[in-house]
Structure 1
Amino acid sequence: MEPSFHTLVPKFQLKFISLSKCRTSQQLSLELPTFLYYQNDLRFVDLSQNNFSGTVPSWLLENNTKLEDLILKGNSFTGPLTLLSTPNSNVSSIDMFDNKIQGQLPTNICSTFPHLEQLFLSKNAFQGNIPPCLSAMKNLSMLDLSNNQLAGKVPQELVRKSSLFLLRLSNNNLKGNVVPVILNANGLQKLYLDGNHFSGEMTNFDVSTFQFPTSLTDIDLSNNRLHGKLPRWIGNMSLLERLDLSNNGFEGSIPVEFCNLNNFKFFDLSENNLSGSIPSCFNPPNLEHVHLHNNRLGGPLSLAFNKSTSLVTLDLRGNNFTGGIPKWIGALSSLSVLLLKANHLRGRISVQLCTLYSLSIIDLSQNRFSGPIPSCLGNLTLPMNKDKTMTPDLMSPTFSELDELKLLKTGILFEHMMHSYSYMKESVEFTTKSGSYSYGGDILEYMSGIDLSCNELTGQIPLELGNLHEIHSLNLSHNKLVGVIPSSFSKLKQIESLDLSYNNLSGEIPNQLVELNSLGVFSVAHNNLSGSIPEQNQFVTFIESSYEGNPFLCGPMLHISCSKTGSTSTISDDEREDSFLDTYVFCVSFLASYVVMLLTIVVILYINPHWRGVWFSFVGKCISSCRYSTVGNLLGYYIFRRCV
């Protein structure tokens, strides 16, 4: 990027150039190197993930008539996409993902690149309709126009193409009926229509004229406006591996026909209004990820999933499931993420969970689990697990070509396709650090945590939980736990969030916990803890609400000083002085009022002979009938206790 390099007129002619990821530390907008103007024999150009600005360099195509692959993704190219009228029959792959290109897709794109195989124009600002001519491109196999502002309907002729393998139109403004798009798929395998405005029901369509099974393996219709019951004809799509219908308005039960989908790997029906129970026959042997959270599904956790031994994620949060954790869960040896939050589950926490050594995230919060916390949970290793994230199923490239240039090109293209291919990504939601966060990608691989909060758990906290060396979050709050905080928690070196609030814990906060250098959120509020709060490391930074509600806990964070022994709290000199003054003022006021009242009575009796006679008559009767005055005794006792 030196100025001398910009002005150089080279004597060489390149066939292959890759200047990927050459951004400067200043992230300045850069212009394309001028020496490229003098190249006319290029076959492969990769200028991706820089900060090149200006309009799309169409002159690269004009100057290099033999160009096959043009990769410009991850730059800052702007303006409309202007193409030359001269056809370039050698171009097979164009990738302009993640730029700022505007306007409509050029109508001559098909005639300019008649042999185009892969077109990636996602994450730009394209508007208008999808060009119908794309349906006539015989070699087009991968088309990604997602994350733009395209409108209108999906051309049915486009999905009928036998050559089209992948079609991604996610996050646009497309609308219409998706059923014909799905059932007209001829050779199409990957269909992503999520984040659009597709609406209507999927059941009011005559499917008898269509041939099953279709070629589709992946269908993503999430985040649309679909409603009604789930279509039973999906059960006839035996090749289907991944289905995402989340965040729509589907209602009713899960069709029993879904039990025929034995190739399922990913299944997401979350954020709908589904009810009823999960069919007990639903046991796809290769199923890895299940998301059914935030519906109205109910009943006990029957035999569904009991034979899905490849299951990695089971997310059933926010439903109405009852009963306990089934014993067959111990057979799911690959299970890594178990989310059962906010249901109506009860009984004891199953010890079968302790045999699942792949478990790294457990959320059983907001249920009615009772009894003690199984001490065997401390045996879990909470390992980092790459299986928690989905990986694409593309076959590895074959390097049988003898041409070194083709070998290099194939490797870079494969890496590029792998990056662009992972469209259905696995992510889970987990509550930690007093908030709910979504974890996906590499972060999900490393995340580990246990949440048993808001239940009815009793007994002491097992010392064995201190063996969870890799745990990042532990929440045992809002239970009925007793006993002390285990000092073994000092071995949780990776922990970032520890919540033990709203229990009946007693004793002191172990000083050994100051060794937890990664601890960012800590709460022991509303227990029966006593003694002084550790005043070392991050413990002095935790706010007052982390410790409140413990009557015998003291420390600067609570504005309560501690005794020299640190075991009990004492009253400060100012508080003792204020208390003494209050008592002194009361006694003086009472005695003054008593004297004034007594003198008043004496004066009245002295002046008025009638009242004097009545008074002595009353006193005589009291002496003869009452030896003790109860009122007088009580009043005297109160004055004695208060003043003396």
Structure 2
Amino acid sequence: MVLVEHYQWKVLDLSWNHFVGSVTSDIHALSSLRVVSFAYNYLNGSLPDHGLCELKNLLELDLSGNMLHGTLPDCLKYLSSLKLLDISSNQFSGILMPSLIANLTSLEYIDFSHNIFEGSFSFSSLSNHIKLEVVRFRGDNDKFEVETEEPIGWIPMFQLEILELSNCNMNRYKGRVLPGFLLHQHQLQEVDMSHNHLEGKFPNWLIENNTNLEVLNLRNNSFTGMLLHRNANMLELDMSGNRMIGTIPDDMQKFFPHIQHLNLSRNSLSGAIPSSLGDLRDLRVLDLSNNELSGEVPKGLFTNISELFFLKLSKNKLQGQVLSGNLSLGKIQELHLDSNCFTGKIANEPRKYNNLMILDIRNNFFTGMIPGWISNTSELSELVVRNNSLEGRFPCGPTLFTFLDISQNSFSGPIPSCLNLQYVKHLHLGSNRFTGSIPNSFRNLTYVLTLDISNNDLSGRIPKFLGELSNLRILLMRKNKFHGSIPKHLCQLYNVSLMDLSDNSLSGSIPNCLKNITGPSYLAFLKRTISWYPMSSSYDYNSVLQRWQPAYVNNQGFETQDEVEFTTKRLFLSYKGGILDYMAGLDFSCNKLTGEIPQQLGFLTQLLALNLSHNHLTGPIPVSFSNLAKIESLDLSSNGLTGKVPSQLIKLTSLSTFNVSRNNLSGRLPEMQAQFGTFTEASYEGNPLLCGPPLMKKCTTTNSQLTNPSDEEEDNDKWYDIDMTFFYGSSGSTYAVFLLGFVALLYINPYWRKWWLDMIEDYMFTCYYFLYDSVSS
């Protein structure tokens, strides 16, 4: 505990340490304290009813960045001298009582962000505060609402400079309107009302009334209209995720001449990108993605804006040879041009791409070869050129890729073994024309999470060293020419969740040891921030405690999301991002696998999809498959499986696709209960010995007894597990009945009796002369 003098104030500042435990009630003994900070430690527990509340002289209280929970003590309202109260980033819960803040009329700075409060909080409880400068409420759940319109027409006595009401379900039951009290605010420098689903036209009046406004964040609302008012001080504007239509104003530089961060993504903006954006000389971040923009990209975006380092134009209708000409990217570090209609070649001018770290041009129409500088730059770490018309051999070089996706092009030749893939996490080489075998350099993929080499002309055996890639989560090798058996070394991929070896020429049996694959132990595909571009307005709250706080925290660059394709429920689908942490499937279909299906596959309880179809598998369907509680798609069709369809599979309540057609299965089908009540005849066709609904063939007593034992019998009953006393008794009775019937027939019919006696006589003479001749000789 540190007690120091600071301008005649007594300060206890224990922030940014590793303290644990709770806030002690003994702190009341330090009654002369003016400033207390326990910020960013590991404190937990609830605040005591006595302790802090006795510090009547307290001016600043900062408890942010801990794990404190429970409700706020009502006695805090007696700290009448309090100017700063920051309890953000904790786990405080319950209803935030308006009376608690209403009585603290000396407050200048409030931050209640990132807690789990519930209920409604009326902003009008602050109406009598005359000193308020900063109010921050950032919600983290859907149970907290900020109401600003009750009572109707209330007028604040304060003039805010910072207002953050993000994700607060603002005015949920009042039409989701913009707060009316803002009409009386004229000193605002930062406004963040993102993620509130607010409606109405773009509030140009807010910009007009607050000439000092530097940061305006209205992200993820439902505003319409367009920006129509000039503000020379605006540094950051985020209108992404709204309903803005029309074109981007041609004279944007007149509205916001010094704008640094501009985000208009995820709207319905159309028309061309105005060349005037190239006159925004201070622009650093520009995001116009997910709109309906068309035409060519103005060259001024690349040549005129010397400070631009983040440019995202993804998912529009833009066209032109954007990377082909004499174009310098300046300081641009992240360039996202994906999902447009761009054409042409990538220029081979490395000096113009010196600062590039991320290049994403997927889903376009780029042609030609990849220039050599791609593999020889020191900065580039993520390259995504998926789904273009690029061709030739991929160049070698020392570039340290962490994300490399060149799939769905026409690259040819062997897979380059000279690439520096030491730190690559996601490697996508699928759907090209690569030939040869898997290079030995793949031994070094120690960090790889996704390895996709599917749909090429690769051949040879699957190398054993793939089993040593301990971090591997997704292995896609379908549609190649691999032969030989499935290496048992793949059983060492304990963390793998998707494995697709389909459409090859693999033979032999399915390894029993696949049961060792336990599935992922941690989430690897979550959307992660890799860069953060804070904007600080000129506002600076004067306090003893340091108040460095970026004005805006949504300008983030995210790690490129991984995307793979996998067949499940008979559909070849694309899965992207965080869903890959929950996908689990095994596809060995369309090979030449033999032997029985291992019972051990029933231990892979994490599986959502299992496809063993179109092989030469024999034997029964394992009863252990009833343990696959999460399975949604099970395809065993086109094999040589025998026996019954186990009735225990009825327990698979998540199963939506089931196919055992074209096998040699027999007997009564499981009852049409639960999910099995949804399967049609198509799931069982090509098995002539199956019977029962949904098939038209009914089960008779005979075929039911011979081919389908009762449900009470165990599926592993053997042919010799019968009652021998019953067997001998029934056999003797059958013989006696036959013999008596034959004697009776001879007695009744004299012709048959004479024929029988003559046959016996001839037989006796034949035996006699045979024996006589044998002895005489």
TM range, smaller chain = 0.7 to 0.9
Unaligned runs of 5+ in 1: 571-644
Alignment partner of 2:331 out of 187, 194, 200: 187
- Cα drift, residue 327 of structure 1: 2.0
The reply to whether residue 199 of structure 1 matches residue 350 of structure 2 is no
Alpha-carbon distance in structure 2 between the residues aligned to 1:181 and 1:236:
20
Distance 1:174 1:561, change over 3 A: closer
Write the letter of the residue equivalent to 2:159. Answer: Q
The reply to whether residue 116 of structure 1 matches residue 259 of structure 2 is yes
The reply to whether residue 456 of structure 1 matches residue 592 of structure 2 is yes
Alpha-carbon distance in structure 1 between the residues aligned to 2:663 and 2:326:
57
Alpha-carbon distance in structure 1 between the residues aligned to 2:220 and 2:437:
49
The structure with more strand, counted as a fraction of residues: 2
**Contact 1:201–1:227, Cα closer than 8 Å, also in 2:** yes
- Cα drift, residue 136 of structure 1: 4.1
Alpha-carbon distance in structure 2 between the residues aligned to 1:24 and 1:560:
62
**Match in the other structure for 2:669:** 533
**Contact 2:286–2:312, Cα closer than 8 Å, also in 1:** yes
Write the letter of the residue equivalent to 1:145. Answer: L
**Contact 1:461–1:481, Cα closer than 8 Å, also in 2:** yes
Distance 1:121 1:408, change over 3 A: farther
Write the letter of the residue equivalent to 1:541. Answer: T
Task: Indicate the SS of the match to 1:378.
Answer: helix
Give the TM-score taking structure 1 as reference length.
0.80
- Cα drift, residue 395 of structure 1: 5.8
Could you report, residue by residue, the CA deviation over 1:371-406 in whole angstroms, capped at 9, with x for unpaired residues? 00011111101226422356331269899x987999
- Cα drift, residue 29 of structure 1: 6.3
Alpha-carbon distance in structure 2 between the residues aligned to 1:269 and 1:57:
44
Task: Note the 1:98-497 alignment, pairs <5 A.
Answer: 98-160=241-303, 161-179=305-323, 184-202=328-346, 207=349, 211=351, 214-255=354-395, 257=396, 259-261=397-399, 263-383=400-520, 385-389=522-526, 391-394=528-531, 410=550, 413-414=552-553, 416-418=554-556, 421-422=557-558, 424-497=560-633
**Contact 1:31–1:52, Cα closer than 8 Å, also in 2:** yes
Could you report, residue by residue, the CA deviation over 1:530-555 in whole angstroms, capped at 9, with x for unpaired residues? 22111133222211111222122111
Distance 1:307 1:27, change over 3 A: farther
Alignment RMSD (CA, Å): 2.9
Task: Indicate the SS of the match to 1:386.
Answer: coil
Alpha-carbon distance in structure 2 between the residues aligned to 1:96 and 1:158:
20
Alpha-carbon distance in structure 2 between the residues aligned to 1:110 and 1:396:
22
**Contact 2:329–2:352, Cα closer than 8 Å, also in 1:** no
Q: How many residues align?
A: 555
**Contact 1:153–1:174, Cα closer than 8 Å, also in 2:** yes
Alpha-carbon distance in structure 1 between the residues aligned to 2:281 and 2:484:
61
**Contact 1:283–1:307, Cα closer than 8 Å, also in 2:** no
Task: Indicate the SS of the match to 1:471.
Answer: coil
Distance 1:345 1:54, change over 3 A: same
Task: Indicate the SS of the match to 1:298.
Answer: strand
Give the TM-score taking structure 2 as reference length.
0.67
The reply to whether residue 17 of structure 1 matches residue 129 of structure 2 is no
Alpha-carbon distance in structure 2 between the residues aligned to 1:485 and 1:337:
27
Alpha-carbon distance in structure 2 between the residues aligned to 1:435 and 1:28:
44
Distance 1:19 1:213, change over 3 A: closer
- Cα drift, residue 61 of structure 1: 1.1
The reply to whether residue 511 of structure 1 matches residue 647 of structure 2 is yes
Distance 1:181 1:4, change over 3 A: farther
Alpha-carbon distance in structure 1 between the residues aligned to 2:171 and 2:501:
45
Distance 1:29 1:99, change over 3 A: farther
- Cα drift, residue 499 of structure 1: 1.1
Task: Indicate the SS of the match to 1:349.
Answer: coil
Task: Indicate the SS of the match to 2:332.
Answer: coil
The reply to whether residue 97 of structure 1 matches residue 236 of structure 2 is no
Write the letter of the residue equivalent to 2:308. Answer: L
Alpha-carbon distance in structure 1 between the residues aligned to 2:326 and 2:522:
34
Could you report, residue by residue, the CA deviation over 1:457-513 in whole angstroms, capped at 9, with x for unpaired residues? 000111111111111111111111111111111211111111111111111222222
Alpha-carbon distance in structure 2 between the residues aligned to 1:284 and 1:136:
40
- Cα drift, residue 121 of structure 1: 0.5
The structure with more helix, counted as a fraction of residues: 1
**Contact 2:595–2:618, Cα closer than 8 Å, also in 1:** yes
Distance 1:403 1:439, change over 3 A: farther
Alignment partner of 1:498 out of 624, 634, 647: 634
Distance 1:29 1:318, change over 3 A: farther
**Contact 2:527–2:559, Cα closer than 8 Å, also in 1:** no
**Contact 1:534–1:540, Cα closer than 8 Å, also in 2:** no
Distance 1:260 1:11, change over 3 A: same
Write the letter of the residue equivalent to 2:398. Answer: N
**Match in the other structure for 1:39:** 185
Distance 1:545 1:28, change over 3 A: farther
Alpha-carbon distance in structure 2 between the residues aligned to 1:517 and 1:489:
13
Structure with the greater relative contact order (CA < 8 A, sep ≥ 6): 1 or 2?
A: 1
Alpha-carbon distance in structure 2 between the residues aligned to 1:282 and 1:18:
48
The percent identity for this pair of structures is 43
The reply to whether residue 56 of structure 1 matches residue 56 of structure 2 is no
Task: Indicate the SS of the match to 2:471.
Answer: coil
Unaligned runs of 5+ in 2: 1-146, 709-777
**Contact 1:282–1:305, Cα closer than 8 Å, also in 2:** no
Alignment partner of 1:72 out of 213, 218, 221: 218
- Cα drift, residue 448 of structure 1: 0.6
Write the letter of the residue equivalent to 2:375. Answer: G
